[in-house]
């Protein structure tokens, strides 16, 4: 991974640059970047002759953001894929969605073997952030979905113009994840 370096010394000599971060950056490096950004912002608001400029504030924010991105991914155990891998990842996600639906169709009512999570059409996990929907492990769980949760699942799966009550929505959710049990 390329080393992320702090920006150049700001106009205000009272603001000290953080030390160069480790490669890969650590949480301490992220804390240093945040403190640096706060000091540059405070300098810009001080209206001294040697105050930090708006460009310096932007560079401090960009530096903190670049460290946040790398540290967050590392803390989550996520390897950052190169940009050229994005089409491959989309194809893998589509294959996983098909596989999960196939597995779910063979898992009966889900009471013995839990249903697999089927990603939404935008390739996000319905049980993760920002959706935070209940994990659909079985028909019993699906049958307890509220109208709102069922509706959010259907929208995530790209099903529009839904009519009928909560039971109709639950039935459509079952179909969307590959469940063959009514």
64 and 6 housed in the same domain: yes
What domain range includes position 166?
84-177
33 and 114 housed in the same domain: no
Instruction: Write out pLDDT tens, residues 4-38.
Output: 777 777 777 788 888 888 877 888 888 888 998 89
Inside any domain, residue 159? yes
93 and 163 housed in the same domain: yes
> For the chain, what percent of residues have pLDDT higher than 70?
93
Dist. CA 85–CA 92, nearest whole Å: 11
CA 137 to chain centre: 22
Q: Which residue has the tokens 């949480």?
A: 27
Residue-level pLDDT at 177? 97
137 and 168 housed in the same domain: yes
From 146, 136, 150, select the one nearest 107 (Cα to Cα).
Answer: 136
Inside any domain, residue 182? no
Inside any domain, residue 137? yes
9 and 90 housed in the same domain: no
Tokens for 178?
């590959």
* For range 139-150, the mean pLDDT: 96
Rg (CA), the chain: 24
Residue-level pLDDT at 119? 94
> At a CB cut-off of 8 Å and minimum separation 6, what does 57 contact?
37, 40, 41, 44
- Cα atoms found within 13 Å of the Cα of residue 78, Cβ hemisphere only: 9
Instruction: Write out pLDDT tens, residues 120-136.
Output: 999 899 998 889 999 99
89 and 167 housed in the same domain: yes
> At a CB cut-off of 8 Å and minimum separation 6, what does 26 contact?
71
Q: What is the mean pLDDT of the chain?
A: 87
pLDDT surpassing 80 at residue 91: yes
Tokens for 40?
């540059």
Residue 9 is given by DSSP the state P
Of the candidate ranges 4-13, 41-50, 87-96, 140-149, the one whose mean pLDDT is the lowest: 4-13
120 and 50 housed in the same domain: no
Residue-level pLDDT at 77? 64
Supply the DSSP string of 43-105, one letter for each residue.
Answer: HHTT--TTPPPHHHHHHHHHHHHHHHHHHHHHHTTPPPPPGGGHHHHHHHHHHHHHHHHHHHH
Of the candidate ranges 55-59, 91-95, 119-123, the one whose mean pLDDT is the lowest: 55-59
Residue-level pLDDT at 73? 64
* For range 90-118, the mean pLDDT: 93
Contact between 94 and 120 under an 8 Å Cβ cutoff? The reply is no
pLDDT surpassing 90 at residue 55: no
pLDDT surpassing 80 at residue 113: yes
Q: How many independent structural domains does the chain possess? A: 2
134 and 172 housed in the same domain: yes
């Amino acid at each position: 991974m390329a080393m992320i370096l702090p920006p150049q010394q700001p106009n205000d000599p009272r603001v000290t640059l953080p030390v160069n971060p480790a490669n890969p950056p650590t949480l301490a490096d992220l804390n240093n970047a945040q403190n640096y950004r706060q000091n540059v912002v405070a300098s810009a608001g001080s209206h001294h002759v040697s105050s930090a400029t708006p460009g310096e504030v932007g560079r401090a924010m960009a530096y903190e953001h670049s460290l946040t991105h790398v540290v967050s991914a590392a803390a989550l155990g996520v390897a950052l894929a190169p940009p050229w891998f994005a089409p491959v990842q989309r194809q893998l996600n589509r294959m996983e969605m098909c596989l999960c639906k196939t597995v779910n169709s063979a898992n009966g009512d889900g009471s013995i073997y839990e249903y697999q999570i089927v990603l939404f059409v935008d390739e996000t996990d319905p049980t993760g952030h920002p959706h935070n929907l209940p994990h659909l492990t079985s028909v019993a769980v699906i049958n307890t979905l509220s109208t709102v949760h069922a509706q959010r699942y259907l929208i995530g799966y790209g099903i529009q113009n839904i009519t009928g009550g909560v039971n109709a929505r639950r039935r459509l959710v079952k179909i969307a994840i590959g469940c063959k049990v009514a």
